[in-house]
Amino acid sequence: MLLKTVLLLALVAHVLVLENGLLRKPPMGWLAWERFRCNTNCDEDPKNCISERLFMEMADHLAQDGWRDLGYVYLNIDDCWIGGRDAKGNLVPDPKRFPNGIAFLADYAHSLGLKLGIYEDMGNFTCMGYPGTTLDKVVQDAQTFAAWKVDMLKLDGCFSTPKERAQGYPKMAAALNATGRPIAFSCSWPAYEGGLPPKVNYTLLAEICNLWRNYDDIQDSWSSVLSILDWFVDNQD
């Protein structure tokens, strides 16, 4: 019964999400957060820190170990990649950990038949305290991601108010679309509003997002996965 419920939820979400030609099927790939978190200590832990090296290595695994051929094509950067903003206000990656830049990683992923996803936050800071995307930076950041040839954006919701999120997520959806580059939009918005109506307007969400997060992050444990599945079972009505 649980499996049937999960499959039904997946099918319903697939039917209702934003129709921009992207993610006609549920996306599959690899995301850094659950395992590598915000490890930025590349001096002492170079193999496990959030860095260009890590994502190139994981891209190689996806391509060479058969995952890409099974449909696991997204290589997704999560929090802790940002170095700051330059003199013009553009986001820049940490120069030590990403010496060749994000566009280089996108090109590398594309050369292997993969797609690159990136992370930002609709707020003053990301969840781990790096520069976020405030309302006045939405268009600029969308253009930056497009220039880097990014294929997906996960937009988190830390350090923002409900009003800012209500303005920011639709604004980012429009800004991504205006770039002309196909960038799938993953919205964490519902998770910050309790995940349920009436606080979450799923009609609007389906118009602006390709996929979204309703509940807790997945932690590095099976119990975490089960708790998330249980939440969907308990709230499917």
Cα 174 from Cα 177, distance rounded (Å) = 5
Name the packing angle between helices 102-111 and 52-64 (round to 10°): 10
Q: Is 156 a catalytic residue?
A: yes
Q: Pick the catalytic residue: 94, 141, 151, 156?
A: 156
Q: Pick the catalytic residue: 43, 217, 230, 237?
A: 217
Cα 146 from Cα 151, distance rounded (Å) = 8
Helical segments of the chain, H only: 2-16, 33-36, 52-64, 102-111, 138-147, 162-178, 202-208, 222-234
* Number of other CB atoms surrounding residue 102 within 10 Å: 24
Q: Is 217 a catalytic residue?
A: yes
- Active site (catalytic) residues: 156, 217
